[in-house]
């Protein structure tokens, strides 16, 4: 079979392409080294790694091979994609106009080397929604250092639709052993409830199971809805860097403007915080961040209700 040379990729030199004619490779296991792609300057020592940790992609091998490469289709320079020279150049790759702030002399591979990804340190892993260090989330990328009891740590994994997850959660799997309910919580990996906020243009959904306390929940909600309270919805430019956003919402929530309420299993709206956390997560169907002025009636009613 022919080598997979496509004319619209920036060419890798021929000898570095996978030797697909070696059908023997496929027949007896995988001799990975024989078929391993090595991309480096001809004559340079590219790392011979069994663990595929890093394929150092030299800049030059990209630029030099570009015949009818993508770069040619653009402003003809071909320089905007990869500036010449190995090891980066003064002209940063991704910030052609901003001389000062770029990668400078940093190698391309700095982006996909271990420091960014493999050990997950600097990467932004798709962890628990609020990106809290509640759980050792990065370790979910490693092998086996995951919190023992439950694996609901990575958002959206395993890929099961909410509809199905919530159905399973509501009626946990039965078990063969006598104590059917003991294992019940394993089936309910998450519990999504809707959160609405008076005045916000759309709802959010939160997974109550990932929070351990009211405090965690409330700070997560603060973060989620902070952009709305400053009246910035619909526009960009929400900067949480200065801390103003968060503290203002905290003031708003803890102050007088908004209160957090929830609808319980019976359809009643209650103030959040009165019952033990577990009882709350069991009975909460949805949340609403309500304006204090509207909540007054709610508070009064609650005082008059017998203890639930």
Partner 1 sequence: MQKEMAYSFPDEVLKHVFSFIQSDKDRNAVSLVCKSWYEIERWCRRKVFIGNCYAVSPRMVIRRFPEVRSIELKGKPHFADFNLVPDGWGGYVLQWIAEMAGAYPWLGEIRLKRMVVTDESLELIAKSFKNFKVLVLFSCEGFSTDGLAAIAASCKNLRELDLRESEVDDLSGHWLAQFPETCTSLVSLNISCLGSDEVSFSALERLVDRCPNLRSLQLNRAVTLDKIANILRRAPQLVDFGTGNYAAELQPDVFSNLAGAFSSCKELKSLSGFWDVVPAYLPALYSICPRLTSLNLSYATIQSPDLIKLVSHCPRLQRLLVLDYVEDSGLEELASSCKDLQELRVFPSDPFGVEPNVSLTEQGLVAVSLGCPKLQSVLYFCRRMSNAALVTIAQNCPNLTRFRLCIIEPKTPDYLTLDPLDAGFGAIVEHCKDLRRLSLSGLLTDHVFEYIGTYGKKLEMLSVAFAGDSDLGLHHVLSGCESLRKLEIRDCPFGDKALLANAAKLETMRSLWMSSCAVSFGACKLLGQKMPKLNVEVIDETEPPDSRPESYPVDKLYIYKSVAGPRFDMPPFVWSMDEAVKILH
* Three-class SS state of 167: helix
Among 76, 133, 156, 231, binds partner 1 (CB under 8 A): 156
Among 121, 136, 182, 238, binds partner 1 (CB under 8 A): 238
Cβ 85 to partner 1 shortest distance, Å: 16
Quickly count: other Cβ atoms within 10 Å of residue 144's Cβ: 6
Residue 162 lies near partner 1 (rule: CB under 8 A): yes
* Three-class SS state of 65: helix
State how far the Cα of 159 lies from the Cα of 51, in Å rounded to an integer. 27
CB-based contact 82:63 (threshold 8 Å): yes
Residue 193 lies near partner 1 (rule: CB under 8 A): no
Residue 182 lies near partner 1 (rule: CB under 8 A): no
Among 13, 44, 95, 145, binds partner 1 (CB under 8 A): 95
Residue 178 lies near partner 1 (rule: CB under 8 A): no
Q: How far apart are the first and last CA of the chain?
A: 73
Cβ 276 to partner 1 shortest distance, Å: 23
Residue 299 lies near partner 1 (rule: CB under 8 A): no
Closest to partner 1 by CB, 227 or 249: 227
Q: Which two tokens stand for residue 16?
A: 């570095």
Residues 96-155 that bind partner 1 (CB under 8 A): 98, 101-103, 106, 108, 110-112, 116-118, 123-126, 131, 140-141, 143, 146, 148-152, 154-155
Residue 204 lies near partner 1 (rule: CB under 8 A): yes
State how far the Cα of 182 lies from the Cα of 178, in Å rounded to an integer. 9
Residues 29-58 that bind partner 1 (CB under 8 A): 29-30, 32, 35, 37, 39, 52-55, 57
Query: CA distances (Å), 290 to each of 116, 253, 297, in order?
Result: 41, 10, 12
Residue 20 lies near partner 1 (rule: CB under 8 A): yes
Q: Sheet harboring 192-197: ordered strands across?
A: 204-207, 192-197, 286-291, 258-263, 269-271
Closest to partner 1 by CB, 108 or 272: 108
Q: Find the part of the chain contacting partner 1 (CB under 8 A) among 92-100, 212-220, 246-254, 294-302.
A: 92-100
Residue 175 lies near partner 1 (rule: CB under 8 A): yes
**β-strands 192-197, 286-291 pairing:** parallel
Residues 64-83 that bind partner 1 (CB under 8 A): 69-70, 73-74, 80-81
Specify whether the backbone of 15 is left (phi greater than 0), alpha (psi in -120 to 50) or beta: alpha
């Amino acid at each position: 079979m022919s080598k997979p040379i496509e004319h619209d990729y920036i060419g890798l030199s021929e000898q570095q392409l996978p030797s697909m004619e070696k059908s023997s490779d496929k027949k007896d296991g995988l001799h990975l080294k024989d078929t391993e792609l090595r991309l480096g300057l001809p004559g340079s020592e590219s790392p011979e790694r069994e663990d595929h940790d890093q394929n150092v992609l030299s800049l030059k091998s990209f630029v030099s091979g570009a015949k009818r490469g993508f770069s040619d289709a653009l402003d003809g320079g071909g320089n905007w994609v990869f500036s010449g020279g190995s090891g980066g150049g003064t002209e940063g790759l991704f910030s052609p106009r901003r001389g000062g702030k770029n990668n400078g002399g940093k190698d391309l591979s700095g982006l996909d080397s271990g420091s960014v990804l493999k050990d997950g340190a600097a990467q932004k892993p798709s962890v628990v929604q609020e990106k809290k260090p509640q759980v050792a989330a990065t370790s979910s990328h490693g092998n086996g250092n995951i919190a023992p009891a439950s694996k609901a740590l990575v958002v959206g994994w395993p890929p099961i639709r909410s509809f199905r997850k919530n159905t399973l959660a509501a009626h946990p799997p039965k078990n063969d052993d006598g104590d059917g309910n003991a294992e019940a919580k394993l089936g309910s990996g998450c519990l999504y409830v809707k959160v609405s906020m008076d005045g916000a243009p759309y709802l959010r959904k939160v997974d109550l199971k990932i929070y351990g306390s009211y405090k965690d929940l409330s700070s997560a909600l603060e973060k989620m809805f902070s952009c709305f309270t400053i009246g910035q919805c619909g526009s960009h430019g929400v900067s949480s860097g200065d801390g103003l956003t968060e503290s203002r919402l905290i003031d708003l929530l803890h102050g007088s403007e908004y209160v957090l309420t929830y609808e319980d299993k019976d359809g009643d709206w209650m103030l959040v915080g009165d019952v033990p956390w577990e009882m709350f997560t069991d009975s909460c169907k949805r949340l609403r961040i309500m304006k204090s002025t509207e909540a007054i009636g709610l508070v009064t009613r609650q005082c008059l209700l017998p203890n639930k």
